[in-house]
Structure 1
Amino acid sequence: MLVRDDRWEQYAPEVVAAVGALWGKSAGKAGGTRNLLLSHMLDTAAVAEVVWGDYLPPVSRRSLDELAGGPGRGRRFFAWLCGVHDCGKATPAFQHMDADGARAVLAAGLTWDRYAVGRSRWRHDKAGGKLLRRLLVEAQWAEAQVEWVWPLVAGHHGTVPTLGQLGAGKPALQGSGQLWPAVQSALVEVFTRELGFDAERPLAAVQARGVPGRAVQLQLAGLVVMCDWIASDEAHFVGVDDLSRVTMPAARGRASAAWSALGLRGGWGQLPAPGSTGFKARFGADPRPSQELVTDVVGRMGGPGLLVVEAPMGEGKTKAALAAAEVLAARFGAGGVFVGMPTQATSDPIFTQVRDWLRGIEPGLEDQVALLHGKRMFNPEWRQLLQGAGDWGQDADDRFASVCEDEPDEYGMDSFDECAGESHQRHAPAEWFLGRRRGLLSPFAVGTIDQLLFAATRTKHVMLRAAGLVGKVVVLDEVHAADVYMSQFLEEGLWWLGQAGVPVVLLSATLPPVQRRKLVGAYLAGARSAEPGVVELPEPQGYPSVTAAWVGEGGAAEFVVEHARSWREDLGVRVEVLADGPPAVPEGPAGPGAPAGPVSEEAALVQLLGERLADGGCALVIRNTVARAQATFEALRESFGTDVRLLHGRLHAGHRADRTRECLQLLGPPGPEHERPGRLVLVATQLAEQSFDVDADLLVTDLAPVDLLLQRIGRLHRHGGQRRPARVAVPTVVVTGFSERGDDAPWILGASEEIYGRYLLLRTAALVMAATGGTWSVPGQVPELVARVYGEDSGVVPDSWAEEEAQARRAWDRCQEKRRMAARDFVLTRPGEHGAATLEGLHYAGAPGSLAEGQFEALVRDGDRSVEVVLVRRDGQGLRAVSGRRLGPGGEVTAQTLDDVLAGTVRLPASLTAAAEAELVPLPGWRGHPWLRYSQALVLDDGSDVVLGEYQVGYDESLGLVVSGGPARR
């Protein structure tokens, strides 16, 4: 229909009629009434205005104001960027796809060749990029401005194409004749005027005053997606098919109501600078010297930058990092925090700690922390936080409605959640934030470091992850745990954070110097928009230490490198060796569950522990493989009975949680809840290596690279005030898993070499052998020991080993290079393109389609792929969970039995992955269940194993998953 108001006076009636017919959402996707394209564009712009006021951190608002030409101008510019995203729908390529909508458009005088549009596809995001380029050039935008803006439109469904990939734009698809171009121009011009831009030359008035760095462009691309998805929620944005009712004030009302109903909110806003007593106010105690140094250094940084905190285990690095994050946020306008941990298990206790810290900043903020990892449903605190806060038990990403109509996924399909209306007083993270791709958009988040690594991959919707990181302070703990493959993504992520000016705090107990230089170099290269490389920086002269790096006003790197004394005296840790050796008989076929190593070594271990624990005491035995841990547990149980515990990664989730909790209660810090046993032997794998707050009187450990060995030693005499029997009163580490061979290089357990490589183990073994009978001063000697093993010093091993060490080094170098190259296909920036000015072609040759979380993990963590299964037992009466609770005939679960079923989750060895994927499926009763429908069930008959591929698989209540058989044995 013709609309008579000032907005349309300069346009011909046929143009106005056509704009009034263009649809953006079909009736089926807009609450039963067609939503006009202009209406959806204004809705999205209105959402962007709310995002500006209620979500964006101060630093982002300042950046956009500067980009748009001064204070107060950024809001309107940001709203325009978000709202213009769907202009490509004003083409026959899109308008023909809904029959009812197409009839209205045709009736208004816009035509197309229905056979031509039926034969070809042109995604509306790419069409929008092409259309907007034309309109901006016609508006006489500078070329540099055009080139950074169109990728935001062309990539708003998750992948940013190259200019050549925008498509030829055949007339049949883009609109032939004179009317189509006139209508397209009118649509964008009227939309722009509705936002308040100059009426005479609206598009010319939009042009920014500068070109932001690619990291900010990626953040903006993610925010465009966020605003589009919110504005596409038919529960809050029902269709408007009358052009006279399509106005910006109406869109603002809808956007405000939707934001409130969805329970969305931003972070803490502009924080005040904490005072000199801030640390004690947050954590209830005066800071230790190293903690005081951290907050002092961040207060002296000349700009947002990278902080590397290196301190021994138990020094309080996490509290120091949170205190630093508060100072950095206050100084540089960050609106929230992300804390990344090495594993899911280490994320859970930090989740509690972050919530306590936020409660001290402002009561209520603690309820806005999202826990981001695949096992969060097992965390009681997370479950309690979400109780009564919506249908949190369902997979949020499965309750979608299309935001791009009939285009299948390969042509741009994506989704938004149909969230039930909730009060803005919601005392939990908004459900909208809990979708698989959106967790980092939560104002406060704790999860695995994978969340940051995902943000450095060339994958669909990576811009959402970037939008969730830019504007926060990022804290990453135990960064030394990143291997060479993961480090490619870590360094790439630091490059983007550096370019965006995101303050980053890295924590480590044992960081090799070359790794420190690479991490700092990656961040500084990003801050300079240069290719990353190793940077020369001052070395810490003591331990604990703090290294701060940022780019000064002149573009030069600036550093502060200082150290402090530890809060406690060094431990003189006695170093001993328990000789191991190759099996007396050749190893025959067996699977990953078969015992490893000779019986004589187990007997020697039993004898050692019998002597040292004769008067009581607690020993920790760390093995490098599950199979070896299981064999050790069985051998020790014969002598020590119920005083032996076993903890490893092939326990089902219920057992692992229970045993971890018990170990922390028995061996944790002194206190009323920790009753230390008279005698205990804990056999564990690398789970005990990091963020595992237990205190052992004696440590026996398989040989591992020195940094990991020192991490393990960090569990030794960890807490003061413990009464220890005389035989274990001196902190002692007994290293095994290798044995001397005279002047020859030592024999090293094959499984250990397979995990860590022979080169680092040889150099570590040399240090251990040199120290045998003496002591290491821990933590004082930690930097020196790590530097010797990871450095280039050729005098670490005896001369008689030199040739074998050189061979091992060449093999190690080849392996490292192979793993580095394996990551290149998935790293966000292709080699040589860090200097690019725009996002054009960002996803070229990237990972295809939308990846499940498990596939993401495979992208950023090297190694053989593994799968998780859910254990279920079958007896004569039917199926039951591992807890013994009965299930339905097809495995059906109730709300009361769900936890019992999920407790049976266990990760299989990589050798079983292919067989599990080929043979295991969900139980019939799990089909349609939000958490179980994709879960593979491993059904075990009572008293017998199940055959999986070429292996026998069973589950022992003491040992955990036991695997035998298989094509080969080592």
Structure 2
Amino acid sequence: MEAIFRELGLSTEVQAWLAAFWGKSRKVGGGKINLLISHLLDSAAVAEQLWECYLAPKTRLLLNRVSGGQGKRFFMWLCAMHDCGKAIPAFQAVDAEGAAQVRAAGLNWNDKRLQKLRWRHDKAGGLLLHTVLKEHWGHSEHIDWVWPLIAGHHGAFPSKNQVLNPRKKPVEHQGTKLKGWPQAQHALIAVVTRALGYPDVAAPQPATAPSKAEQMQLSGLIIMADWIASNHQHFPGLEHISQVGLAGARDRARKAVKNLRLRGGWNALPIPDSEDLVYARFGEPSRPFQKMLVDTVQNMTEPGIVVVEAPMGEGKSRGAFTAAEVIAARFGCDGVFMGMPTQATSDPIYTQMRSWVSDFDQDLEARVALLHGKKMFNPQWRELWDPTAESPDAAYSGVACDDFGMEDPYGSSTDTEAERFGPALWFLGRNRGLLTPFAVGTIDQLLYAATRTRHVMLRFAGLAGKVVILDEVHAADVYMSRFLTEALRWLGQAKVPVILLSATLPPAQRSSLVQAYLQGALNAADTCDIGPVPTPKGYPSVITAHVEQGRPVMTPQSTGSWRSSEPVHLEWLPDVSDEGCHIAERVRQEAAEGGVVLVILNEVDRAQRVYEQLRGCYPGQVHLLHGRLCAAHRADRTARCVHDMGPEGKRPERMIVVATQVAEQSFDVDADMLVTDLAPIDLLLQRIGRLHRHEGTSRPGHLKTPRALITGIVPDELPLQMRSVSEHIYSRYLLLRSVTLVNQARQGWSLPEQIPALVARGYDEEPLCTPELAEDEHESWLEWKETECNRSAKADHFLLVRPEKWSDPTLEGLHVKSASAREEKELEAVVRDGPPTVEVLLVRYNGKGYTTLSQEWLGIHGEASEDVREAVLGGLTRLPARLTEAALDLLPLEGWKDDPWLRYFPALALGPDGWADLGGERVRYDEELGLVTERVK
């Protein structure tokens, strides 16, 4: 540093000040003080390593465009500047040892005055950089977007008034009028800038401004570099200025990034030249739809949104993977995020993605992360980690504090042995999962990135370098759709390619999703009309939409299905009873001569009762699947169903599966006959999609024609009787329209050919019902519309940007009135509208101690050794929503407090009689039925 000091002509007094500023106290620096200038250069050096080893090609292009060709150096400078606000009295006074060091160098302050105002170093950095850049960049517009990146590096963007014009002037705290402080602050920025190779502070001035979404991405990457450089195990404190320099920082950063295994994905992926990419990747020839999809994305001239609509079982996932490869190669993306509707549907796609990426490079398989709250129950995920080491899901759950007592989840693990075969452990800390090069999880992960919550920029940075694939997008209700369209607006502005998949997408929803993406790409308000989204002429179909030369370009394509349409016979099975006696009797009759029957009901209790009536008729051939099974039983039963009823399974002579909505979609099974409760038309078609799904399946003679029996209704009486719970879940209005569409199908439905038309009619809001149901339809429509509007409005408070602020060019003020959710469970409540539910670990108490749900001994206090831990976790069970409040008082067992896997889960202990009292109800667990509840009399 001495050479730079001389080049800048700094006096010995100023040099002493810079040599005294501390950035990390001994308390958080691993036993050593780390000088501020050292931490800034460490952060810059980490940024350089991220450029070399992690950033997507499209991100490097963005930085080169913004900086006029100096992308790497500019990125290093931005990351170095993040903590310049620590060079203020308010920060330097926090640690007694560090404060004495600074005072000894000749800088001073009034301690009593500092106590009157809390002035944080992130805001101070924004103000300081704004002041310095104004001197060197003049009135450049670029100052306005650069300073918020610094002021927001602790996870929230303050407003301009909070930083530049605060009500209480932080003059004393900032050091603005204290002797020596302004000179020292300006010198710090000048020295670091020169150390990075710029001749002066004017030199880093950008050539062009990034969009607001691109600023969000850069903000996340700055935080990423800061957190890595704050890991004291890799960056131990440097207490003397003679030890500090960019060369040393580079050496530390190189080793840190290598040891933490922070690598990207594909990097520069070559454009595939295979004539049949599906065959090249998966070993099966392309279906017409898959070939059309790949050909279509090969002709896209700009990144955009791709809407894929194809029947159930058409091969959308494989088509999307191959399309993502083409898009990534053409537009410089480094990986893929695939969002699924549920945790259960995420797991099989996780397996598929691992297999897919390993075809490019065996090493890439280890860089695929599974992102949902129950990933530790996935066998493949758990196999990746050393069972004697701490859970990767718990490794960063503790909270460290920086000198202001703020959360500082930098991470400190250096145990690379335990993570040899999985994603880098660093990526699995809080808010960081999407930074993994390849990831599969629930769609919630993407929706979180559209919420105005702390550290949202890390999530967005994780998405911005990827191709984003979202499956079953029709499943997003009106509340979730607010976050989905918000996310698409930001992704559109950041030019992130998006692929949406659905078999049953209503036209209005299709239009809304495409419009949102294009509005973002055009930087237009959400009220801006982009023009009509074209309706495909056939099915399957693909619509591509992007912005070219400032204008939206939308192109529809369609082709025929790989299989011909066939008629599905529809029949009413009147039964609105709790017991479902008519359902059980009809299934018993239909299965008398064999066959595979799938029953999908809307309520767990009703499914349990139907199952009870059937299991005695066909012992061992009836299976129950629902959301109140413990994790182990649900996984085992799902696997058995998919194996026996799937494309590769040995089909049994007779099999009856009674299920709830868990079997509705992304459930690759083939039933000979379907019995289903009434549901909205798109979900009804999804359920029918499990019927005669695979070609070449041998079926009993009486089940060779696909038939769907629809129950949960008495269709011949007025007013129509329906299950009240079904009306509560789906609305009477949508169910009435489904009734009408079924009644109109005298010859059944020809599927998949009629799917688009049926979905369009079910959701177009034009009167549909017969005259005798017209009044009922209108009244229920009014109620449904009001409910939908209210649910949509509830999301506004949490959306990433308030509607009136969308056109703002910078991020300043983004987090004013932001949501307080920080934990993933809290975020789930933000993006999903509905009664919250709680998952508990069920255990048994025999009066002497605890056992697992499967009767394996734990201990007097529930102590779980490694060999029984998995059995304990297998008891994870979701409680009914009505028991949530009572369950909030449940705690982990005392014997779990030191267990990295179990210490965060509440336990529900079933007594010696097998029951537990909870919230005015009694709860037990039946090995076949799952969780059973009854009211206390």
Per the alignment, residue 177 of structure 1 pairs with: 178
Aligned-residue offset at 1:389: 10
Alpha-carbon distance in structure 2 between the residues aligned to 1:617 and 1:141: 79
Other-structure match for 2:748: 775
In 2, the alpha carbon distance for the partners of 1:251 and 1:389 equals 34
Residue 657 (str. 1) matches residue 635 (str. 2)? yes
Q: How does 1:30-45 map to 2 (within 5 A)?
A: 30-45=29-44
CA 1:217–1:966: 2 relative to 1, 3 Å: farther
Please tell me whether the aligned partners of residues 338 and 475 of structure 1 are also in contact (alpha carbons under 8 angstroms).
yes
Note the 1:823-902 alignment, pairs <5 A. Answer: 823-848=795-820, 851-902=822-873
Aligned counterparts of 2:444 and 2:419: Cα–Cα separation in 1 = 31
Residue in 1 that maps onto 2:588: 610
Aligned with residue 938 of structure 1, among 900, 903, 908? 908
Q: Within 1, Cα distance between the matches of 2:202 and 2:720?
A: 74
Residue 740 of structure 1: CA displacement?
2.1
- The question of whether the paired residues in 2 share the 8 Å contact of 1:470 and 1:502 is answered with yes
Comparing 867-876 with 141-150, greater Cα deviation is found at 141-150
SS of 1:574's partner is strand
The aligned residue for residue 531 of structure 1 is 525
Out of 942-951 and 475-484, give the one that drifted further. Answer: 942-951
- Contact 1:15–1:182 (8 Å) recurs in 2: yes
For residues 230-274 of structure 1, the C-alpha deviation after alignment (integer angstroms, 9 at most, x for no partner) is 000000111112112211111111111111111111111111111
Superposed CA deviations along residues 326-373 of structure 1, whole A, max 9, x for unmatched, are: 000011000111111111111111111111111112221111101111
The Cα of 1:140 is off from its aligned counterpart by 2.9
Instruction: Check the 8 A contact 1:606/1:639 in 2, yes or no.
Output: no
- 1:792 CA drift (Å): 3.0
1:563 equivalenced with 2:563 (yes/no): no
Name the SS of the counterpart of 2:749 in structure 1.
strand
Matches within 5 A, 1:120-131: 120-131=117-128
Q: How many Å apart are 1:959 and its aligned residue?
A: 1.0
Q: Which amino acid aligns with 1:113?
A: N
| Counterpart-to-counterpart distance in 2, 1:819 and 1:375 | 27
In structure 2, relative to structure 1, the CA distance for the partners of 1:194 and 1:7 (3 Å cut) is farther
Partner Cα distance (1:513, 1:940) in 2: 49
Distance 1:705 1:843 in 2: 38
Map of 2:137 onto structure 1: 140
Indicate the residue corresponding to 1:619 in structure 2.
Answer: 597
Comparing 363-372 and 282-291, the one that deviates more: 363-372
Alpha-carbon shift at residue 614 of structure 1 (Å): 2.1
Deviation at 1:388, TM superposition (A): 7.6
| Matched position secondary structure for 1:722 | coil
Quick one: which amino acid aligns to residue 762 of structure 2? Answer: V
**Structure 1 residue matching 2:619: 3-state secondary structure:** helix
User: C-alpha displacement at 1:118, in angstroms?
Assistant: 2.7
Pairing partner for 2:704 from 729, 739, 742: 729
- 1:245 corresponding residue in structure 2: 243
Provide the residue aligned with 1:486 in structure 2. 480
Give 2:496's aligned residue.
502
- In the alignment, the residues of structure 2 paired with residue 104 and residue 565 of structure 1 have an alpha-carbon distance, to the nearest angstrom, of 76
Cα deviation, 1:761-810, whole Å, max 9, x if unaligned, reads: 000011112225x210111000010000101332x210121111111111
Q: Structure 2 counterpart of 1:184, which letter?
A: Q
- Which residue of 414, 425, 444 corresponds with 1:420? 414
**1:321–1:966: structure 2 CA closer, same or farther, 3 Å change rule?**
farther
Alignment of 1:166-565 (within 5 A): 166=163, 167=166, 168-175=168-175, 176-198=177-199, 202-275=200-273, 276-387=275-386, 391-393=390-392, 395-398=394-397, 401-402=400-401, 405-409=402-406, 413-422=407-416, 426-533=420-527, 535-553=531-549, 555-565=550-560
Deviates more, 1:609-618 or 1:723-732: 609-618
Instruction: State the one-letter code of the partner of 2:99.
Output: A
Q: Distance in 2 between matches of 1:104 and 1:731?
A: 82
Indicate whether 1:117 and 2:114 are aligned.
yes
Task: Confirm or deny: 8 A CA contact 1:141 1:207 kept in the other structure.
Answer: no
> Which residues in structure 2 correspond to 1:11-26 (within 5 Å)?
11-26=10-25
Q: Output the aligned Cα RMSD.
A: 1.7
Measure how far apart 1:869 and its partner are.
0.6
- The alpha-carbon deviation at position 83 of structure 1 amounts to 0.7
Give the letter aligned to residue 611 of structure 1.
Answer: Q
How far does the alpha carbon of each residue in 1:408-438 deviate from its partner, in whole angstroms, 9 at most, with x for none? Answer: 23xxx32211011538994321110111211
Given residue 593 of structure 2, which amino acid in structure 1 is its aligned partner? D
CA distance, structure 2, for counterparts of residue 712 and residue 490 of structure 1:
24
2: distance between equivalents of 1:519 and 1:394? 33
Q: Which runs of 5+ in 2 are unaligned?
A: none
Q: Displacement, 1:6?
A: 4.7
Moved more, 447-456 or 721-730: 721-730
- Gap regions ≥5 residues in structure 1: 582-596
1:577: which partner in 2?
A: 572
1:733-744 equivalences under 5 Å are: 733-742=708-717, 744=718
* Structure-2 change in CA distance of 1:516 and 1:394 (3 Å): closer
Q: 1:644 aligns with which of 622, 637, 646?
A: 622
User: Identity across aligned pairs (percent)?
Assistant: 50
Answer whether contact 2:142 2:209 (CA < 8 A) is retained.
yes
Contact residue 866 and residue 909 of structure 1 kept, 8 A: yes
Given that 2:198 and 2:204 are in contact with CA atoms closer than 8 Å, whether structure 1 keeps it comes out as yes
- Aligned pair in 2 of structure 1 residues 145, 390: CA closer, same or farther (>3 Å)? farther
1:541 to 1:526, Cα distance in 2 relative to 1, 3 A: same
The change in CA–CA distance for 1:5 and 1:551 in structure 2 (over 3 A counts) is closer
Compared CA separation, residues 186 and 390, structure 1 to 2 (3 A): farther
Is the contact made by 1:916 and 1:948 (CA closer than 8 Å) also made in structure 2?
yes
Distance 1:874 1:5 in 2: 70
Letter paired with 1:771: A
The Cα offsets for residues 909-944 of structure 1, whole Å up to 9 and x where unpaired, read as 1100111113x1111111232222221110001324
Q: Which amino acid aligns with 1:101?
A: G
State the alpha-carbon separation in 2 of the partners of residues 423 and 923 from structure 1.
Answer: 30
Distance 1:860 1:7, change over 3 A: farther
Residues 1:252 and 1:560: Cα distance change in structure 2 (over 3 Å): same
2:32·2:238 contact (CA, 8 Å) conserved in 1? Answer: yes
Residues 622-631 or 241-250, more deviating: 241-250
Of 928, 948, 965, which residue of structure 1 is paired with 2:918?
948
Alpha carbons 2:482, 2:792 under 8 Å: kept: yes
Deviation of 1:393 after TM superposition, in Å, equals 4.9
Tell whether 2:776 aligns with 1:804. Answer: yes
Letter aligned with residue 816 of structure 1: E
Per the alignment, in what secondary structure is the counterpart of residue 414 of structure 1?
A: coil
Sort the Cα spacing of 1:902 and 1:390 in 2 relative to 1 into closer, same or farther, 3 A. Answer: closer
1:279: Cα distance to partner?
A: 2.2
> 1:17 is paired with a residue of what secondary structure?
helix
Q: Is the 8 A contact 2:276 2:291 kept in 1?
A: no
SS in 2 for 1:681: strand
CA contact (8 A) 2:540 2:560 kept: yes
Check 1:966–1:164 CA distance in 2 against 1; reply closer, same or farther (3 A cut). farther
2:603 and 2:272 map into 1 onto residues whose CA distance is: 46
User: What is the total number of aligned residue pairs between the two structures?
Assistant: 930
Normalised to the residue count of structure 1, the TM-score between the two structures is: 0.94
Q: Distance in 2 between matches of 1:250 and 1:234?
A: 15
What is the identity, as a one-letter code, of the residue corresponding to 2:198?
F
Tell me, in whole angstroms, the C-alpha distance in 2 between the residues paired with 1:245 and 1:570: 74
Contact 2:4 2:194 in 1 (8 A): no
The answer to whether the Cα contact below 8 Å between 1:309 and 1:545 also exists between their aligned partners in 2 is yes
Q: How many Å separate the matches in 1 of 2:385 and 2:902? A: 19
Residue equivalent to 1:697: 672
> Matched residues in 1 for 2:727 and 2:451: separation?
30
What's the counterpart of residue 749 of structure 1? 723
> Does structure 1 conserve the Cα–Cα contact (< 8 Å) formed by 2:113 and 2:172?
yes
Distance 1:859 1:459, change over 3 A: same
Write the distance in 2 (CA, Å) between the matches of 1:522 and 1:7.
54
TM-score scaled by structure 2? 0.97
Q: Take 1:106 and 1:859, find their aligned partners in 2: how far apart are those partners? A: 47
